[in-house]
Amino acid sequence: MLRSSLRRGLPYLQLWLLTACGAAQPREAAPASGWPAYGGDPGGSRYSPLAQIHRGNVATLAPAWTYRTGDATHDDGAEGPQEGCGRCHSEPSKFETTPILAGGRLYLSTPLNRVIALDPASGRELWRHDPHIDVEQERAEGFISRGVAYWDGGAGGTCGSRIFFGTVDARLIALDAARGGACRDFGDSGTVRLDRGVGEVQAGQYGMTSPPAVIGDVVVVGSSIGDNRRVELERGIVRGFDARSGRQRWSFDPVPRDPSDPEYRSWDSTAARITGGGNAWAPLSVDAELGLVFVPTGSAAPDFFGGLRPGDNRYANSVVALEAATGTVRWHFQVVHHDLWDYDVASQPSLVTVPRGGEQVPAVAVATKMGHLFLLDRRTGTPLFPVEERPVPASDVPGERAAATQPFPLRPAPLHPSGLVRDSVWGMDDGERDACLALFDQMRSGPIFTPPSVQGTIMYPGFAGGMNWGGVAWDRERDLIITNYMRLPMWVRLRRRAPGEEPDNHEGTPYEMTRAMMASPRGLPCSAPPWGMIAAVSLRTGDLVWQRPLGRIPSLTDAPASAQWGSPNLGGPIVTAGGVVFIAAGMESELHALDVETGRELWHATLPAGGNATPMTYEVNGRQYVVIAAGGHGRLGSAFGDYVVAYAVER
């Protein structure tokens, strides 16, 4: 696809795509000046009250320190940075981690699940722990880890505070935050196996890619599951473990198996017994005051044919609020009924407040692959702006019954266009456009939620988003939501399997599935640019405040206009009290600083590798730093590396 890098870029992306209201409450206090959780705070606001770096001086930012993890090689047990790739696995790494600052240290994880503690002022390594992932094992999502979680047990000594992280080979591990050794009193000598009690597990297909959520003394984990393999997939069970002992306290299955569950009756009884998936692979959020965990769930299995799971498939494709102490469902809100498009809730639910009548209503912002942004009362799940159930196209695939309606938020309005029409098919020249038109004319195209078909169906938004795991950032001073998203057309085709034919995917159904990005011979998307965007939305009114292209495709030097075309992007934004949005995410290995009120670029810096991670910021010794992991993303095709880079205002 996007030739060269577009042979080094979007082709890798295409490979990826071929394989994923009550009483108002007062405004919440701003979080501490550190970054104690993956999303900045346990609620995932990605906001910092720091203002030492602000719109007036951000242009003077310069590198303060750079650290290399050593994961430029996949050599098991490698020590220190190494050039080359050693025993590199065929599945490229994705350096998506966001470090946290807790107990005076920076903690981060690498694609191979190595956990590293750094001095936040200098970037000097303090300790590292290597769980020795088998790099020869095929992994459903490759090698990836978005970060770790911190727990303060309120006691000194060994493991008085702990770092929790999950591995791609399905281990939940507890480490002594001070020294990095395993906490032997947790589970089996520091480890709890997560691949037990979730059904039959296929090697390399079940693990964790996002950090755990910690609330009180409970550590809550979801799972990453290789989808589209079969109906009886591993189960997407969410579990809460005791932070001290590792004992499982509760579990919640997004596919209700128990007839006493209120949503069991919304499922076919056979489907409820055999269907897998529905897993929460994106980061979870918590509200300690309400005692709730907010769980973003994905599609029930498989993604593109749901004939064996009739009905809305409730709890899947939802935000589910669980009681942290018991795992009991408090409320749930489904963003897609009977998913046939791989429209997982891929973003961390972010806790915000919505101004209403002079009060601040506690809310949760749910960003979706469809480009929809839902704002819900976090106590009840009630939408704070109108949501309308609209009729959507029916399926003509024998055995399939698509949902008759889907939920559409009226405010904020969808950020992504709905459906690709023939007049909007695009190419860089006549030949490119003709090729895209020929592909368009072969397939069915309609508005969002047009079901997959045997003819082939164009998806726009595509199954990568819209919004993905980068999520949103909340400017609590200006009541703004900042989010980045992609605008890439995809297609999916079903083929009825011949009798006796060995399935390649969708095992247990009558159909095989193929999918890809809808691309020209040069590898460019067949929809008009921009292909990557960042936007600000008002929480007061639901209006779009500003939007602009995000990212750049480095190989398009022959097209000067391409600087405004944006690029596929993975990673997310943060926002500070200084009025600055920081984001990288694109294919061009650059970190950008934008004015939060206008979107105007204030500064950018060239990174040593792709910045396909969400940055973070903190202050130590009176100096504010902005830190980002720069290691690239194998499937996006951005430049590979193993860097962690800190920026600060020059002294």
Supply φ then ψ for residue 432, to 5 degrees. Answer: -65, -45
pLDDT, one tens digit per residue, over 199-222 is 999 999 999 999 999 999 999 999
| Nearest-angstrom CA–CA distance, 139 and 91 | 8
- Residue 296 belongs to a domain: yes
Structural domain tally of the chain?
1
Spatial CB neighbours of 72, under 8 Å, sequence gap ≥ 6: 81, 82, 83, 84, 85, 631, 640, 641, 642
- Residue 500 belongs to a domain: yes
- Residue 430 belongs to a domain: yes
| Nearest-angstrom CA–CA distance, 332 and 623 | 42
- Residue 385 belongs to a domain: no
| Nearest-angstrom CA–CA distance, 232 and 270 | 11
What CATH number does residue 137 fall under?
2.140.10.10
- 6-10, 33-37, 516-520: segment of lowest average pLDDT: 6-10
Give the strand order in the sheet containing 329-334. Answer: 285-287, 292-296, 318-323, 329-334
Between strands 93-94 and 143-144, the pairing is parallel
The predicted pLDDT at position 410 comes to 97
- Residue 386 belongs to a domain: no
Judge whether residue 2 has pLDDT over 50: no
Q: Considering Cα of 632, then 638, then 640, then 641, what sign does the dihedral take?
A: negative
pLDDT, one tens digit per residue, over 539-596 is 999 999 999 999 999 999 888 899 999 999 999 999 999 999 999 999 999 999 999 9
| Nearest-angstrom CA–CA distance, 541 and 479 | 10
- Residue 316 belongs to a domain: yes
Which of these is catalytic: 227, 253, 287, 342?
342
Structure letter (DSSP) for residue 530:
P
Query: Hey, what amino acid is at 68?
Result: R
pLDDT band at 4 (very low <50, low <70, confident <90, very high): very low
What's the gap between Cα 36 and its chain centre? 19
Residue 372 CB-half CA count within 13 A:
26
pLDDT, one tens digit per residue, over 475-508 is 999 999 999 999 999 999 999 999 999 999 999 9
Angle made by CA atoms 507, 510, 514, in degrees to the nearest 5: 70
The closest alpha carbon to 594, from 579, 607, 606, belongs to: 579
The predicted pLDDT at position 282 comes to 98
Helix (H, G, I), strand (E, B) or coil at 10: helix
| Nearest-angstrom CA–CA distance, 403 and 312 | 7
The predicted pLDDT at position 7 comes to 40
Beta strands in 222-358, from DSSP E residues, in sequence order: 224-225, 238-242, 248-252, 285-287, 292-296, 318-323, 329-334, 350-356
Helix (H, G, I), strand (E, B) or coil at 264: helix
- Residue 22 belongs to a domain: yes
HEC letters along 155-205 = CCCCCCEEEEEECCCCEEEEEECCCCCECCCCCECCEEECCCCCCCCCCCC
Structure letter (DSSP) for residue 507:
B
| Predicted TM-score (pTM) of this structure | 0.94
Tokens encoding 187: 């589970």
Residue 239 CB-half CA count within 13 A:
23
pLDDT, one tens digit per residue, over 131-159 is 999 988 888 888 999 999 999 998 888 99
Beta bridge partners of 355: 360
408 and 387 Cβ atoms separated by less than 8 Å: yes
Domain that residue 413 falls in: 3-380+391-649
Terminal-to-terminal C-alpha distance of the chain: 44
The predicted pLDDT at position 81 comes to 37
Mean pLDDT over all residues of the chain? 92
Supply φ then ψ for residue 250, to 5 degrees. Answer: -160, 170
| Nearest-angstrom CA–CA distance, 637 and 145 | 18
| Nearest-angstrom CA–CA distance, 242 and 384 | 34
Structure letter (DSSP) for residue 265:
G
Query: Hey, what amino acid is at 348?
Result: Q
Is 342 a known active-site residue?
yes
Burial 620-646 (b: 16+ CB within 10 A, else e): beeebbbbbbbbbbbbbbbbbbbbbbb
| Nearest-angstrom CA–CA distance, 101 and 617 | 9
Judge whether residue 16 has pLDDT over 70: no
The closest alpha carbon to 570, from 434, 406, 369, belongs to: 369
| Nearest-angstrom CA–CA distance, 319 and 331 | 9
| Nearest-angstrom CA–CA distance, 340 and 642 | 37
Give the strand order in the sheet containing 373-377. Answer: 350-356, 359-367, 373-377
HEC letters along 375-428 = EEECCCCCECCCEEEEECCCCCCCCCCCCCEEEEECCCCCCCCCCCCHHHECCC
| Nearest-angstrom CA–CA distance, 537 and 409 | 13
pLDDT band at 13 (very low <50, low <70, confident <90, very high): low
pLDDT, one tens digit per residue, over 39-84 is 999 999 999 999 999 999 999 999 999 999 998 654 443 343 333 3
| Nearest-angstrom CA–CA distance, 285 and 350 | 7
- Residue 61 belongs to a domain: yes
| Nearest-angstrom CA–CA distance, 620 and 178 | 18
pLDDT, one tens digit per residue, over 103-125 is 999 999 999 999 999 999 999 99
| Nearest-angstrom CA–CA distance, 534 and 569 | 10
